[in-house]
Amino acid sequence: RPKITVPKLQAMREAGEKIAMLTCYDASFASLLDRCGVDVLLIGDSLGNVLQGQSTTLPVTLDDIAYHTACVARAQPRGLIVADLPFGTYGTPADAFASSVQLMRAGAQMVKLEGGEWLADTVRFLVERSVPVCAHLGLTPQSVHAFGGFKVQGKTEQGAAQLLIDARAMQDAGAQLLVLEAVPAAVASSVTNAIGIPTIGIGAGVDCSGQVLVLHDMLGIFPGKPARFVKDFMAGAPSIAAAIEAYVKAVKDGTFPGAEHVF
């Protein structure tokens, strides 16, 4: 199968083909995810939670993400490699660019950052310098202390309106992918319809252009109570490969997320 590129993701949205994305932090899983047909591999700062045992993503460093990005890139997956810019590494456009260069040298093909309107100049600065950008809106975990906890976002009329403003600002600044996390399904649906770039939902309903989950969550190996939007695809599956294939199939045919996974 051919390499998945940013224009290919756009073409998938336009063709109505759902995008299957998972987090990935090492070479062995990168090879496996690739064999199972995962379109986008995200080196998420969720590695702070699932690999490092932190209670938030805030302690994750740029070197941490660069190390795991290099591990994933060595597997040369056909899926697009997206790496998170960690907390505190994109406070100014110049910082964001220097941080992105480190991740792209490690093998990232797109970087992801959390935030809306206020980040528009930063996104434009990156895009002008050939750094493809994925924006992340809704429950952005780096803002946990600003939010006062991990809470569903965009529930009020004002919150939903701001989400739409932020999504448009990111698209207008040149972002080519948008993750929507823990927002009401109806709100994610109207954001998706209002913009032209692909949206990737996590706890954002089935009307997004694709879905993402944290690998350890969908394999049922993260300790503690999973979030509402998580499905354990390992339950009843004969192998890890079968679980990942089932996830890809469920995303592609629109059977995941189900009503029980959405807000």
DSSP symbols for 54-95: -SSSTT--HHHHHHHHHHHHTT--SSEEEEEPPTTS-SSHHH
Q: How far is the CB of 238 from ligand KIV (least distance, A)?
A: 26
Nearest of 61, 88, 78, 89 to residue 24 by alpha carbon: 78
Q: What angle do CA 242, 6, 67 make, to 5 degrees?
A: 65
45 assigned ligand-binding residue = yes
CA 141 remoteness from chain centre: 12
Neighbours of 242 (CB within 10 A): 14
User: Which option in ligand KIV, Na ion, none does residue 202 bind, with CB closer than 5 to 8 A by kind?
Assistant: ligand KIV
Report the site for ligand KIV in 68-87 (rule: CB under 6 A).
Answer: 84
Q: Is 181 a catalytic residue?
A: yes
Give me the catalytic one of 117, 128, 157, 181.
Answer: 181
Q: Does 181 bind Na ion (CB under 5 A)?
A: no
How many residues lie near ligand KIV (CB under 6 A)?
A: 12
Q: Does 45 bind Na ion (CB under 5 A)?
A: yes
Q: Which of 46, 100, 192, 209 binds ligand KIV (CB under 6 A)?
A: 46
User: Where is 210: in which H helix or E strand?
Assistant: strand 210-213
Q: Does 217 bind Na ion (CB under 5 A)?
A: no
DSSP summary character for residue 135: E
| Residues binding ligand KIV (CB under 6 A) | 23, 42, 44-46, 84, 136, 179, 181, 202, 212, 214
| Residues binding Na ion (CB under 5 A) | 44-45, 84
Binding site residue list for 3-methyl-2-oxobutanoate: 45-46, 84, 112
Residues serving a catalytic function are 181
